[in-house]
Structure 1
């Protein structure tokens, strides 16, 4: 641990000082070199002799620091790292001076002139020994200057670093082993380390030589990885101390993961404190959504007990949703950690609305059973689904038999799994993709901007041109007549007979309310316009009104068109806001409206009594499940439901179910 962490200060908002200097003698460079000199002398590369006496030393330490030794090494012949001194008195003075330097002392000698500024450095320095500081400075100057005493080159592949083998080896075990084992690097003057980038490697050597460097804050985690690679505990501890001071709720997850990776218990401890203190902020943040799968289980275990099971499951689902394809396999692990009975309706709705998860992951499909069975009792229901047709945004059309989606499909041993079949590839004659679909007269129709297409002989056929251009409206068949309601402002209603003949039959009176993305539901000589795209600001024409004895009205109330009299009326009903209708199903006298943006909601409207039906039951449960499977189809654009199309329509088309579904 650094003894001067209190001295750490920020240079700018993006840089921080790493300062591992210490006044303690045992951490000085000369002391580390002395240990090598006293032990195996692995990196002592020069011997000074006189008769039978000798002194072993590290050439770069004295050659870079004292001009006397630089001259000595240059003028005297050096054979096999040996310098011979004939004068015994001179040899003794040199021996005493060298030993004192290794012990961290400077004893003046009349023949050995101290470097200029050395005494000033002694006086001015207050945070570490003057000798150690000066020695490091001289060595660092040599590697950036003449490189006279640099004896090894470290290459990253794109940059070379000239260093002193003994200096880097005595300070860090990685380089010690690199230069002393039987690795090829032992016998080479150049070592290749391609795993570390140039910038990080430069910082490593700056730290080795000076023990004090400025680094960008966003590099600290990367430097932890580098110090782990090089086994640089001192450098790693200093980075850890620095990161601890920077931990906040905005970065605690990234730091927690770094602590786990590099076994930094202090980082883990401080990061976990931040996580637990700000758990509700964190689970809604991007750093949470980006947690790697390797650490997600530990994270959930960490916050379990700090949040409810409901909140725990919700945050797990949001994490899965962020990268569905790669993370959906983790659902079962999360689900096993919680008590399903504790989940709120909003969490169940979130799960059901994760259509890809529920349709592709068996554990998720099985998990929704307890929730769905509350609304789908064992008793049989008369609701029967048919074939679902989906047009993708690419223009491809698929079908799926939904008739098997009954109450029994929620049993543990008979979970319904949809099987989608492509029945038509994209047709580039159509002006745009994902057109609204409707089934009628044993045909599939697509309503384009200014025309209606029908699918015949495996191709889209131009059936009729629309007088009013269609835009986010609704369509419905009543008998042999196609009704088209369109126009965001002053929504118009038009009708076309079955034979079409390319002409509009009738233009009917316009609706009173502006609406789009709504359902046009046919029933017993009436057309019900239900829903709109979004809530709008109240206007004189379309505003919320409070009626005596009723809750606030929906922003766009239901309008009913009487076909026989060509008149519209507005229903004054309290009920849900039906926004952005996805599809609807009519069964007997009830319309099941599927709507919403981020979540699937099913609202039931009694067409005969003209009132909303509250609560959920077997039918709404089945519709909700059908909708989650359909809207979760990859690249979903639009859909409709109807009986199987004739076999000759597509040649190889499969035969499916019965009913009337529309959008």
Structure 2
């Protein structure tokens, strides 16, 4: 007679109870002793080997413990060792925010994956506004990806409460920058207060970091009386960049001019919200042109040192970096310009590999450059620039070599989207990079393979725009990816198909500039409003823009 699932389950429970009771019986079959701080714990060697890679390795290779009946667990205090053994035999262990790091340390030391999984499950239930910063740090330390995502979501949802917690001022600069990016825009006042408290907690080391953090805020979302208070904060009023930024946002918001004059009077105002900077391209490889998307005013910035076709760029605070590209062949150079004082591009250290058709993003004080084309082949290699010590370092290669692809940061992970293999084979594949574990994982592919597409992130969604598909078909299609759902969906198409266009987000809208449509280079700029799901023509650039790179400034 075949046993039912219930009978099998009962049998497992009976067997487990029998083995657990055997440990303490007078006729125990235990054949191994674990010792910690003078305390001895009898266990079954075979069970230890089954559940723990640590013990399996110990007793299958030539280690002295293989031939002894006792193992000294010097790294684990006896109380924690007792809890560890109890978990192995019964599956029971109490996990709290206070003891979880000890349990995770013991699980990692003994390579007990089941215990680490139990910690993950418990932490997912414990996440709240009061502990999400602490648990986020644990998730990073122990590579608990699901917990990391859950804490990021809690930070976004409860940011105003999170910044009031004592853990906030204890964040290091990398985590501080990352956490600020997770905020929702309804709590800019709380974010400003939190940044000031964070800087004042350690002013000697943090005061110089205030400007870049302040420039991440949107003053238009703050009340006038709060802005009046903010303008009197020493960190703001004693810094011309911060004052300029605050005043320009007030002017753009069209507040009462008298209200603006309350804050600060300056002779030169630099806008950091409504402009986009187009760098290089097929027509003018060294040109740098600023377009104001509101007034349509055009401003020439200094030319780059090197020609920048098929390059990539990122903005970091008030600084813009442009990397790689083509000048008769792939180039490895990198240069930077401060848009507060845009007088010249400054050469930075070269990349480790020359790359054209590459892509980039900025995350936690590093500029990441992925893939590209060099030496007649697509690259899977990637590297990052530490903006504090100006040093390039290798990171893990992508799963798929790719060029003409998109790279973005979303919810604490780096995504590489589509592109081409060897410059003429469009890809639909996409992958995601975990910065903490240095691991790439495949994600859902695009609905349509696309090379020379452009990608941006808006409101937590990734947009893959245009490009060129199979049989050299120029694409107007646009796809959107929600990381929480894990699936691409088609949204409203562009008005014009665009291959190797450029895109950025300005004022919560997506601007797509130029590109190639068949044999025609485009000078039109389309804008997407996510609230209406409609693309419209915003304006035309003076010259066609193709194979350029763009950042919002």
TM-score normalised by the chain length of structure 1? 0.32
Which has the greater radius of gyration? 1
Q: Answer 1 or 2: which has greater helix percent.
A: 1
Q: TM-score, normalization: structure 2?
A: 0.38
